[in-house]
Amino acid sequence: MILLIGISICKLSHTYMQFLYSIYDDADEITRLSSSSTSHLSLPSSTNMSFSDSESSSHPRDGGDYKFFRQISRDRLLHEMLGSTKTGDSKAWKILIMDRVTVKVMSKSCKMADITDQGISLVEELFKRREPMPGMDAIYFIQPSKENIVMFLSDMSGREPLYRKAYIFFSSTIPKELVNHIKSDSSVLPRIGALREMNMEYFPIDNQGFLTDHDQALQTLYAENAENSRHFNICLNMMATRIATVFASLKELPFVRYRAAKSTAPRDLVPSKLAAAIWDCISKFKAIPNFPQTETCELLIVDRSVDQIAPIIHEWTYDAMCHDLLDMEGNKHVIEVPSKTGGPPEKKEIVLEDHDPVWLELRHTHIADASERLHEKMANFASKNKAAQMRSKEGSELSTRDLQKIVQALPQYGEQVDKLSTHVEIAGKINRIIRDTGLRDLGQLEQDLVFGDAAAKDVINFLRTNQDTNPENKLRLLMIYATVYPEKFEGDKGVKLMQLAKLSPVDMKVISNMQLIAGSPENKTKSGSFSLKFDTGKTKQANRKDRSGEEETWQLFRFYPMLEELLEKLVKGDLSKSDYLCMNQSSHKEEESESRTGSVRKSSAPTAVPERKATPHSMRSRRTATWARPHSSDDGYSSDSVLKSASLDLKKLGQRIFVFIIGGATRSELRVCHKLTSSLRREVVLGSTSFDDPPQYITKLKLLSEKDIAGAPAQPFKPQYW
């Protein structure tokens, strides 16, 4: 028996990894694989269905720990889905069958060891040839599509089904006609152990973030004449379905707010159309057992028109710098590390993820702060080495690289030292790129433009004196310039700037395409002229107010995404009711009074934004905001679980706030959600169609004016800095 189990687990590891490799081009997905909101569907009693309601809830019980978004998703998959299939013979192994969408849902929330612990011995893909195993039960986690149902029925019908019994879990609501299709096969019904809607068709990317996996949403919804394509409504409807499953999964009924249209242009109506589609889906969830009948949270729907600077400005956190400056594939990067044997440097593939405590501590800190912290950690380890202590007494200052070599000689700290050394190499590489490309001066000009401290002459002077600056960086600078000073691109002014920056007309087309996202009608211009018209009547010379007095920061840490300001206004009840409409009109008045007190849940936590005291702006402060500090510090190794540590000191929070950005979210916006969760005492969950770094976003903007946009994935231009 022990031998059989061992073989099963080995087979699981090999088959599961093969399955994932066949599904993902992005190898980042493979490393992670590590209700209820479950709706039970009625079938004849002869099918031995289980109809017990789940007791789980996203709201903590009295005295219980608060569970964050991703942890709830993980628990539902492991316990409400896989765990619910366990019968009297709890040691019986089962097979897990998924499609290409649901395997991504699973991989974003669970590790491979997690599903093995739930009695899964083999994972297979629905549409691949599978070996019959009539002595084992199978769990199907699939989308409720006609193709999937037909394949399931072919597996389980007839005299010789592939498996003994099937437990079927759907990722979203299944149409009645498909349920009837299953009922019509009398040979299958007795073999069904469960038939449920899990309502989980979203992809967690962070403890407080998720995607709908619509990487081409910007092109599909905002390109020229996009509304005439059949993909327009398909994209919106699927997006709404997946967002709705978030609320079904967490048993949350939201106030649905959305950015109001400023014109009748179809692109300007995208947020309102998405809001209506989401509300239509959520309204049907009220029939789910224990689903709330009154609003329990907030949902704010916006698109990239609310902030066109956040996706392109250089963000100076460790996380953003890694993905902006390094050649990364997802969360993976290859670095060269010193050889432990003294030979030439060795190549090493690293994964930057939440289960790395050093990454978790440093990702939202300024790159200079991250570098100093790493130096301190290395010094802390080196202090345990007598050779290092002797050199210190001799007055010889040790560099981070010297400390790294000394620390690597400490065998008792092998794993911790290995992680630290990896981050030392990455931070060092980033700092070299910043120095070699003169990125600090460019970053200063970018932020001065945003906050009204720079004008046209500063941009022109920079372009004239920095001819060797990377073309993409010059384009990003001009995109920021166009957002703050749109009148500087009217007529032939844009052409002159293009010539000064030595950019091609194709590159400059990105700037004119920004108006497609801005929502204002296109302006007819003479052939050959370049014109950009946003909302010049309202555009000021400063794009946003300086908030650097909020806390002591490092240089070039002034920038903040507009999402921060919008969410603070939402909590205070100051969000413009004309610019942001609410779908829940019947409950709107009652909600207004509750929005200032914060929660339908009983909580004494304050929800209003505290009054800020003016403090001197430090250009080089060693202090990091409390929201960016790890939950347990020291050397970053004291937390045994990211999800557990996140819930220890935030047991009672107010209502959740969800914000969904159509067209791609940024790392600075995810950082703000973590920050506001701490300051507002309300979990802020960020959702989006995709998660874009500047090169990807610029590529997508270029495609907005392409005629054939469907089906062609964007290939981002990655500048070579080394």
- Please tell me the predicted confidence (pLDDT) of residue 50: 37
Q: Are 406 and 387 in contact (CB under 8 A)?
A: yes
Neighbours of 258 (CB within 10 A): 25
Outline where DSSP puts E strands in 608-683: 657-662
Its pTM surpasses 0.95: no
Counting as low any pLDDT under 50, the low residues of the chain are: 1-36, 44-57, 60-63, 388, 390-395, 521-540, 552, 591, 593, 595-648, 708-722
- Please tell me the predicted confidence (pLDDT) of residue 500: 94
Extract the tokens encoding 595.
């929005």
Closest by CA to 202, choosing from 303, 146, 281, 310, is 281
Q: Are 182 and 153 in contact (CB under 8 A)?
A: yes
Q: Are 337 and 345 in contact (CB under 8 A)?
A: yes
Alpha-carbon distance of 155 to 139, in angstroms, equals 12
Alpha-carbon distance of 528 to 522, in angstroms, equals 15
Amino acid, res. 510: V
- Please tell me the predicted confidence (pLDDT) of residue 374: 92
Closest by CA to 358, choosing from 337, 373, 345, is 373
Distances (CA, A) of 313 to 475, 519, 594, 686: 11, 21, 36, 20
Alpha-carbon distance of 128 to 116, in angstroms, equals 21
Alpha-carbon distance of 604 to 591, in angstroms, equals 18
At 70-88, the pLDDT tens digits run 999 999 999 999 999 987 6
Amino acid, res. 178: L
Alpha-carbon distance of 358 to 370, in angstroms, equals 10
Q: Are 410 and 417 in contact (CB under 8 A)?
A: yes
Extract the tokens encoding 532.
């950009």
Where helices occur in 492-582 by DSSP H, the ranges are 493-501, 505-518, 562-572
Q: Are 489 and 532 in contact (CB under 8 A)?
A: yes
Alpha-carbon distance of 88 to 111, in angstroms, equals 26
Alpha-carbon distance of 426 to 352, in angstroms, equals 11
Closest by CA to 353, choosing from 324, 319, 326, is 319
Burial of 130 (0-12, 13-18, 19+ CB in 10 A): middle
Alpha-carbon distance of 120 to 131, in angstroms, equals 16
Amino acid, res. 412: Q
Strands 209-211 and 684-688: parallel
* Cβ neighbours of residue 343 closer than 8 Å, sequence gap 6 or more: none
Alpha-carbon distance of 586 to 294, in angstroms, equals 11
Alpha-carbon distance of 660 to 637, in angstroms, equals 33
| 623 SS3 class | coil
Q: Reduced to 3 DSSP states, what percent helix, strand and coil does the chain have, rounded to the nearest 5?
A: 45, 10, 40
Neighbours of 415 (CB within 10 A): 8
Extract the tokens encoding 500.
């000064």
| 491 SS3 class | coil
Outline where DSSP puts E strands in 137-243: 137-142, 166-170, 192-197, 203-206, 209-211
Extract the tokens encoding 147.
């193709």
Distances (CA, A) of 308 to 259, 479, 518: 15, 9, 8
Alpha-carbon distance of 543 to 309, in angstroms, equals 9
- Please tell me the predicted confidence (pLDDT) of residue 286: 85
- Please tell me the predicted confidence (pLDDT) of residue 526: 39
The DSSP code for 336 is E
Where helices occur in 285-393 by DSSP H, the ranges are 318-325, 357-362, 367-382, 386-393
CA within 13 Å, CB half, 455:
2
Closest by CA to 197, choosing from 238, 130, 244, is 244
CA within 13 Å, CB half, 198:
30
What interhelical angle do 270-284 and 230-250 show, nearest 10? 40
Extract the tokens encoding 127.
């549409």
- Our measurement of the distance from residue 446's CA atom to the centroid of its chain's CA atoms, rounded to an integer in Å, reads 25
Extract the tokens encoding 558.
């002034």
Closest by CA to 405, choosing from 345, 333, 351, is 345
Alpha-carbon distance of 105 to 384, in angstroms, equals 44
CA dihedral sign, ordered 442, 528, 704, 534: positive
What interhelical angle do 505-518 and 471-484 show, nearest 10? 40
* Cβ neighbours of residue 450 closer than 8 Å, sequence gap 6 or more: 309, 313, 480, 484, 542, 543, 544, 558, 559
Cα maximum dimension of the chain? 86
The DSSP code for 80 is I
Closest by CA to 131, choosing from 162, 85, 174, is 162
